[in-house]
Amino acid sequence: MVWLVIGGWAFAVLFAVVLLGFAGYELAWKARRLQSDKAKLDRTAVELSALAEQLRAAADRASALTAAPAEPGGRTEPTAEPGRQAPA
């Protein structure tokens, strides 16, 4: 009968070791994955910040173009580039 109790305790200890080892592995793996995901998100945030700056600059240029005074002679249409015809 004693061997049954010892066997039960040995099984419980072995099961606990395997379970804790698996849990430790999962936590370490998930921590590494979350850190790599965070690094990707940080890079994306930097790229979005740069794009926001470009968008602000484009908006400033667009507002400057719409606020520009008319050309002398009352002409407000775009002029042709060299080698191209003006729009009709």
Q: Return the pLDDT at 66.
A: 86
CA dihedral 62, 68, 74, 80 (to 10 degrees): -50
Q: Return the pLDDT at 84.
A: 62
Residues 47-71: what's their mean pLDDT?
Answer: 88
Per-residue pLDDT tens digits for 5-56: 999 999 999 999 999 999 999 999 999 999 999 999 999 999 999 999 999 9
Q: Which residue, among 69, 88, 72, has the nearest Cα to 80 in the 3D structure?
A: 88
CB 86 within 8 A of CB 77: yes
Confidence of residue 82 (pLDDT cuts 50, 70, 90): low
- Taking the C-alpha atoms of residue 80 and residue 87, their distance in angstroms, rounded to an integer, is 7
What's the predicted TM-score (pTM) here? 0.53
